[in-house]
Amino acid sequence: MPARPRRAAVALAATASIALLASACTGSAQNTASDDPDARTEITFWHGWSAPTEVKAIKENVARFEKAHPNIKVKVVGNINDDKLNQALRAGGSNGPDVAASFTTANVGKFCASGALADLKPFLEKDKVDLDKTFSKVLQDYTQFEGKRCSLPLLSDAYGLYYNKDAFKAAGITAPPKTWSEFGEVAKKLTKEKGDSYEQLGFMPNYLGYETVPSHYMSQWDHTYFDANGKSNLAKDPAFAEMLTYQKSLVDGLGGFARLDKYRTTFGDEWGAKHPFHTGQVAMQLDGEWRLNFIKDAKVGFEVGVAPLPVADDEVAEYGKGYLSGTIIGIAPQSKKQNAAWELVKYMTMDTEAVVNFANGIGNVPSTLEALKSPNLTFDDRFKTFLDIAQHPESTTSDGAVNGSTYQDTFQDFAQKYEKGQVQDLKKGLEETAAQIDRDIAQAK
């Protein structure tokens, strides 16, 4: 009798363990683009948008492209995240994309360094595109890695401060704060406690409070993530310690980590109508320009104001800057229709009419310099704040790295430990985190 379960167990053990060992597929092809872009062809375009209005805007944009290029038909596949995209770019095959868009600018380093997206230089040279005349420097930066240009910007995002004007009025605050010390005071004034929780919190400073991630805070302090040798600057650049210390003072000043974190668990979904800013649970929110559309859709019951995020007290001259990121678009290296794919990429990223229409449809910041100036942008007045942030010379984005966003994740991990009070020695902690980032990059090289 006992023999049976034993054998069954061994067999189960073997098969179950093996299920964990699924190994990867091979396959890489360095294609030279030789297809004729004027021939009748069909290309596949993968993107990550999923909301109905966004999908509609994409379809309209593609329809305009097809009208201008009647020989090229575009098959559009939506709701693709970076995991799926990465796997498809590695697997190759005819079901994969010819053109692919991604939201994660931090992954561009990985896309370019590994060759997951094709080098666009030959195409740009062929069409004599002057990038400096087309895109701002930040946008050019985050779509290339170490001189290798494997993607182009398709619309961009700018981060600013949303505030509840009614709550401001009630608290007697007349203007949005410009420096972080002003911000701290305003956040406290706007905070109404209720028992051991809050009726209204001025600002949710925690790193898990949706867009209040370390990289978004960091844009308001002059900083560089890597030194000239590509080593992490976390311990050497004082901006990081300053930001962490300031954020912790916000956390402590507004009620302490545990209490804030418990309040955070009462928040609705970031991408739904019950977002804590919509419901009045928090009076100020660090967020991207897209929130304007969400606010409209959720029909919030108060007046919403927008402003740039505050800056470090000694950087007042740079008020107006912010964090930038955006969607990036590139061509799959395995694609056999790269010239046709390039036509779509070129149209979507650089045709002013296309960029303006798409930006209008999707509620994002247009990516080309020309589109930014277009009179055809149909945004409400508040959107201008984000357009200004997008064009501010001191606005920044996170650097690319050979291992994508891994260095950001490591920094974020440390920042979360620090805000909880688990780190005693900030300097030592930053040194260790920097060393870890260096080790991870060495492993990825």
Partner 1 sequence: MSTDTLDGRHTLRSKRVRSALRTVAFMSPWLIGFGVFFAYPLVSTLYFSFMKYDGLNPPTWRGLDNWTYVFSDLPKFWPAMQNTLWLAVVMVACRVVFGLGVGMLITKIKTGAGVFRTLFYLPYLAPPVAATLAFVFLLNPGTGPVNSLLEAVGIPAPSWFNDAAWAKPALTVLAVWGVGDLMVIFMAALLDVPKEQYEAAELDGASAWQRFRYVTLPNISPIVLFAVVTGIIGAMQYYTQPIVAAKVASGVMGGSGQTFEPGYPDDSTLTLPQLVYNLGFGRFDYGAACVVALVLFALSMAFTALLMRRRGGLIGSGD
The minimum distance between CB 325 and partner 1, in angstroms, equals 7
Site for partner 1 in 115-134 (CB under 8 A): 115-116
**Pick from 409, 360, 379, 356: nearest CA to 107:** 409
Among 65, 135, 263, 386, binds partner 1 (CB under 8 A): 263
- Say which residue the tokens 């209005």 belong to: 53
SS3 116: coil
Q: What's the one-letter identity of residue 32?
A: T
Among 149, 404, 415, 430, binds partner 1 (CB under 8 A): 404
With binding defined as CB under 8 A, does residue 266 bind partner 1?
yes
Stretch that binds partner 1, among 22-30, 51-59, 294-302, 340-348 (CB under 8 A): 22-30
Alpha helices in 236-365 (DSSP H): 238-253, 257-264, 291-298, 338-350, 352-362
Site for partner 1 in 416-435 (CB under 8 A): 416-417, 422
Stretch that binds partner 1, among 33-41, 242-250, 407-415, 423-431 (CB under 8 A): 407-415
Stretch that binds partner 1, among 102-110, 118-126, 343-351, 386-394 (CB under 8 A): 102-110
Among 1, 301, 380, 425, binds partner 1 (CB under 8 A): 1
Site for partner 1 in 77-96 (CB under 8 A): 81, 83, 86-87, 89-90
SS3 226: strand
Among 408, 411, 415, 441, binds partner 1 (CB under 8 A): 408
With binding defined as CB under 8 A, does residue 278 bind partner 1?
no
Among 114, 134, 338, 357, binds partner 1 (CB under 8 A): 114
With binding defined as CB under 8 A, does residue 192 bind partner 1?
no
Alpha helices in 105-213 (DSSP H): 108-114, 121-126, 131-134, 137-142, 165-170, 180-189
Nearer to partner 1, 139 or 173 (CB): 139
**Pick from 182, 181, 199, 201: nearest CA to 191:** 201
The minimum distance between CB 48 and partner 1, in angstroms, equals 9
Site for partner 1 in 136-175 (CB under 8 A): 157, 159
Angle 323-325-329 from CA coordinates, rounded to 5°: 170
Cβ 206 vs Cβ 261: under 8 Å: yes
Angle 314-183-315 from CA coordinates, rounded to 5°: 15
The minimum distance between CB 184 and partner 1, in angstroms, equals 22
Contacts 24+ apart (CB under 8 A), 299-304: 302/164, 302/165, 302/166, 302/167, 303/164, 303/165, 303/166, 304/162, 304/163, 304/164, 304/165, 304/382
Site for partner 1 in 222-261 (CB under 8 A): 261
Site for partner 1 in 316-375 (CB under 8 A): 323, 325
DSSP lists the bridge partners of residue 200 as: 192
With binding defined as CB under 8 A, does residue 188 bind partner 1?
no
Number of residues that bind partner 1 (CB under 8 A): 77
**Pick from 80, 76, 85, 81: nearest CA to 58:** 76
Cα-to-chain-centroid distance, residue 191: 29
Stretch that binds partner 1, among 123-131, 239-247, 366-374, 408-416 (CB under 8 A): 408-416
Cβ 428 vs Cβ 435: under 8 Å: no
Stretch that binds partner 1, among 20-28, 37-45, 120-128, 231-239 (CB under 8 A): 20-28
The minimum distance between CB 247 and partner 1, in angstroms, equals 16
Handedness of CA 206, 212, 216, 220 (dihedral sign): negative
Among 221, 240, 246, 267, binds partner 1 (CB under 8 A): 267
Phi-psi region of 72 (alpha: psi -120 to 50; beta: other; left: phi over 0): beta
Among 406, 423, 430, 434, binds partner 1 (CB under 8 A): 406
- x/- string (CB under 8 A) for partner 1, residues 36-75? ----------------------------------------
With binding defined as CB under 8 A, does residue 13 bind partner 1?
yes
